[in-house]
Amino acid sequence: MISKKLKLAIIDDGININRYSIGELEYDVEVTYNLKIRKVNSIDSFDSSHGTTCAAIIKKIAPNANLSSVKIINNETYKSTAAQLVKSIEWCVDKKIDIVNLSLGTIDYRDFEPIREVVNYATKNGLIIVAAGNNNVGYTCPASLSNVIGVKCDINSKISLDECEYAYDLYSPDGIEINAHSIDEITNYKGEVKKILKCNSFATPFITASVYNIMCRQINNNIVNVKRELMKRAVNFALGRDNYFFSKNIDWIDKAILFSANKEDENIISSYCNIVEKVNLKGIDIKDKLRNLIRYIKYNITMMKVIDTIIILMEHYSITKFQEDIFKLIAYLNCYGKNLIIIDNGENELELSKLKNTIGTKIWHQSLYKNIKRKISNNKNSPLIVIYDFVGNLSSIVAIGLKKLFQANGYYCVAGTNEVKGIIYGLEYVPVDRLGMITNNIYNEDIYIYCVNNLRCEVDLQPDVTVIIESEKSIIELDVSIALNENIIFVNENVDLNKLYNDIFNLFEE
């Protein structure tokens, strides 16, 4: 059995080492408001603090943990900035910290992108981050990110949990997979027993300590394998799912190669990631194309060192029909530590449970969405814009453009689509049979935009504004349910985004 001592940092409001006999800290630093890093010297080591309680919980479960404190929370406002959080994570990478406990996060969309970027940077450098979800709102950054172990307490859990137990939800709608019941009490230096409040921020250090104990006993400690080991130890773990890993979002992506079967796909421009190369796959059939893809990877080692993700875009084909070929590709990508996105016609499920070897590759395919269970509600508070695309290739571009304009004017806008390749543009994939993903306010957004591209499907939504993208060369016969909506805006393929934004905004103000 492997046993090693790892470095664990608590990013919080500081740690007072004597209150709970925590022991010496390897580092005790503060990231100031102006992003200067300095040693912490003026703390009463017997005082209570949030970070001190987190440290006590960790030490009770992982007594050998080598702790450090990174203070970013202001003692008066009890807040910090996203820039301080980013700086503190960068500092942890520089100091080769192995695990970070973050009993904090943000629901401000303006903070999301810099935090996503630093989390992905940290993950590539081997740092495992455990973070608390917001106590009131679903989506929280960084807890909801794929490269983070997100934690909530078990107050609203459907599974009854005892002390030091947790449940693992692989298909959590908000991306936060763990519901945990932390330790119930700790004892201070006076011998006084303190009851631990049931909240996300104190459930998180329990999971952080559990992660520490897992990582001390295994070699390959990438984020996927650590999550898999956590899943195995959950009270609701089911045998046969130990090799199964699903990413709801592709927020891990930074640089990618796009492989496609259609020449026209080479025109795709992603605002979400850097597609460093686009390759048109040749071959007489799908198996031949997949063989050529693997051959390309083998002979382009330099390119493989640059990218983190392979995207296969063949939306008119059933790639996942060839499971064994896909598994060979996954095994090959695993050797390089690369991830995989497959976009095909979705006719066949990608059966990841049949993978024989443990993998560290993150995988995205639309068939995995059938497992997401979200209670559908019609009590959506934010305005809904639905875009019907009769041209066939514009809605994603229009939605992203509108999203940027809304956010530039201070509105938190989320955009989704029923078109699978919309994820490459940065849209949330929401299948028509999972429209509850829109109506449950997971993001607590100000505005939601939903794109409908397959016009043969039935969409049961009541939008506040409907946008029809039509071709100047065709005559559109609208469905009665669409035509009855008074707030309809018609645009063509030469749509002026600024004008469309103003037209929508004017309808909201009426």
Instruction: Give the pair of three-digit tokens for residue 123.
Output: 């993950």
**Which amino acid makes up residue 323?**
Q
Instruction: Select which of 13, 28, 49, 50 is catalytic.
Output: 50
H-helix or E-strand containing 274?
A: strand 274-280
In the residue annotation, 169 being an active-site residue is answered as: no
CB-based contacts of 286, cutoff 8 Å, min separation 6: 314, 317, 318, 319, 321, 322
Cβ neighbour number for residue 25 with a 10 Å cutoff: 18
> Taking every pair of C-alpha atoms in the chain, what is the biggest distance, in angstroms?
81
Q: CA 221 to CA 127: how far, in whole Å?
A: 9
From 12, 13, 169, 344, active-site residue: 12
Is 365 in the active site? no
| DSSP E strand stretches across 134-254 | 149-153, 165-168, 178-181, 185-187, 193-195
Distance CA 4, CA 41 (A): 30
Contact 497, 401 (CB under 8 A): yes
Q: Residue 138 is encoded by which pair of tokens?
A: 């679903």
The single residue listed with the structure tokens 């560290």 is 360
- To the query of whether residue 367 is one of the catalytic residues in this protein, the response is no
Catalytic position from the list 49, 182, 201, 260: 201
Cβ-proximal residues to 298 (8 Å cutoff; 6+ apart), any chain: 332
List the beta bridge partners of residue 467: 387, 489
CA distances from 484 to 352, 383, 435, 457, 463 (A): 44, 18, 21, 18, 11
User: Cα angle at 16 between 11 and 18, to 5 degrees?
Assistant: 140
Q: Smallest Cα–Cα separation from 418: which of 446, 439, 437?
A: 437
Which of 34, 36, 33, 37 is closest to 9 using CA atoms?
A: 37
Q: Report the C-alpha gap between 259 and 241 in whole angstroms.
A: 29
Exposed/middle/buried for residue 464 (C-beta within 10 Å: 0-12, 13-18, 19+): middle
Q: Are 54 and 65 in contact (CB under 8 A)?
A: no
Copy the structure tokens of residue 278: 């686009």
Pairing of strands 447-452, 363-365: unpaired
Write out the catalytic residue numbers: 12, 50, 201
